[in-house]
Amino acid sequence: MVEGERVLGRFTVGERIGGGGHGTVHRAWDERLCRDVAVKEIVGESAGRVVREAHAAARLNHPGIVTLYELGTAGDRAYLVSELVHGADLRRLAAAGELSDRELAELGAELCAALEHAHDRGVVHRDLKPDNVLVRPARGRSVKGRPAQRALLADFGIAALDDAPTLTATGQVVGTLAYMSPEQASGEGAGPPSDVYSLGLTLYELWAGFNPVARLSPAATARAIGEPVPTLAEARPELPPPLCAAIDACLDPDPAERPGTAELGQALAGVRGALHPDRAVPPPAAALGVATLPPGVPARPFAVLLGAGAAALLGSLAGLPGLALVLAVLLAPAALVLHRVRDWLLPAVAPLLGLAGAAPAFLAIAARRERVAERAALAALGWAWVVICGSAAGHALGVPPGAADPAGWAGSGPVTLDALFAPMLTSTAIAVALTWIGGAILLGLLLDAASPAGAVVGGLVWAGAIVALLAAAGDGAPAPLLAPSLLAGAAWAIWDRAGRPDLLPSRPVRAPEGRKPPPARRSRPAAAPRPRRAVPPPRRPRNPAAAPLADGRIRATRTAARHVRAALHGAGSHPGLP
């Protein structure tokens, strides 16, 4: 299809908005009904089969399923016309960091409801993956007070009917290889448990950041289908155990052992309150066909080191070798360990807190990280920022500054090494660094393992231990705000890990301005019960079933009267008619 082309006699093709292995999708304009639609074009031998099997979508009418308006063929091309959804798919939202843990559970429960509707009508999707789940922007509340439907299941072009013979040849594999169930990949046929497997694999990938089945080549991916999949708890140990158990059950090789869509939806809705509303899921580690990496490992570490070296070289050429050296030392490790660019400057919060004598409160921020390595790295980077900034400003931000004069350090590499980096090698600085790293790891483990009540008690003990260790390492009295800041940081981390529940009760509904609230009813003494009235006898029906039928003349008169009333009503409803 090209822009400006008209297909099926009424749809004017616009720009391309998507595509995949089964065709391309364009925005189009419906000339007859004057509305925007999405037109998918399938070319080749599968065009006729897709059109015949796409009749399955005509059975579906659910707010969580993209509505199919029309389908047809023209030569060797097939066209599927559906509603145009203004929203991104799950893969794009995860890559942009706009999909939180709690939001994913809510969308997953909505997808379960949509699949249950399809399965009840004998329709199996057979190609469920993150690219085929569209998410509409939130548009408030529905009439019944429940959140509006946001997740929409798209692309029913290769759906199959359970109660009709499939038009796909026996043994032919249809769908996306990396999301197929074992029975679907072997050509045995796909039923409702196959959709449950694909949905579980989709949710696993979004929560973990990688697809556990995808490999470097299609052949390797095909061999991995049906093999035991690592539990979701290994990639995301902080997720609730019931959630990990539900996702793991969906990936069971035996279709009979997988939960139903209703059971999975209840499990996702049940853990919603235990998931964080703002913490984004890990971005996809790699696209299909590319080797997957563990979360947090950058794809090109040597490029990061090369960039740091280039920054140092440019700083030297600009006459600021000291500044270039400092930036390379502070940003290169952050780029290697932290996979989000916006987190590279996060350790700079530590020296800002140090201006108030509360630099160790940064440990609460580092403890929120999912992996132990990230917690330790973020705490070490915060400590490095505090030492370097304190030495450059001549201000004790938690570690005594260096003895050398920091004046002119930005323009001299040797002065930078002597004035800013030498204080990092003192015994006091190393002791403080070990305290920071151990404190971040310990608080993170406490948040992962303890209940909210136990975390509160553990947070008090943790704050006291950090104050004592820093006082012993620094050989001096801690700042007066250190203990309150540590307690506040630990409380904030506990509240954040619990999903940020509401701390204040909801306000009572106030009466509109200008209206007085209704007076409270006064309690009256209990009175004697009134005698109940006698129930009147039922009225005799005007036309009882046992009554004799009217004769032909009466029936004809009543029929004529009904026709006259219908004609008068039509004439009154549509002015101008005779």
- Output the DSSP codes for 458-513: HHHHHHHHHHHHHHHHHTSPPPTTHHHHHHHHHHHHHHHHTT----SPPPPPPPPT
Q: For residues 309 and 276, give the distance between their C-alpha atoms in angstroms, rounded to a whole number.
A: 38
- Output the DSSP codes for 344-413: TTGGGHHHHHHTTT-GGGHHHHHHTSSSHHHHHHHHHHHHHHHHHHHHHHT--SSSPPPSS--TTGGG-H
Output DSSP code: residue 576: T
* Angle between helix 482-497 and 452-474 (nearest 10): 150
Say how many residues make up the chain.
578
502-513 in b/e burial notation, b at 16+ Cβ within 10 A? eeeeeeeeeeee
Write the CA distances from 566 to 170, 434, 552, 555, 571, integer angstroms: 57, 90, 21, 17, 9
Q: For residues 309 and 127, give the distance between their C-alpha atoms in angstroms, rounded to a whole number.
A: 46
Furthest CA-CA distance within the chain = 120
Q: What is the C-alpha end-to-end distance of the chain, expressed in Å?
A: 49
Question: Strand pairing partners for 39?
Answer: 26, 81
Q: For residues 299 and 297, give the distance between their C-alpha atoms in angstroms, rounded to a whole number.
A: 7
Report whether 218 contacts 177 (CB < 8 A).
yes
Residue type, 436: W
Residues with a catalytic annotation lie at 127
User: What is the side-by-side strand order in the sheet with 88-89?
Assistant: 88-89, 133-135, 151-153
> 259, 297, 291: which is closest to 112 by C-alpha?
259
What are the helix and strand counts (H, E) for the chain?
A: 19, 11
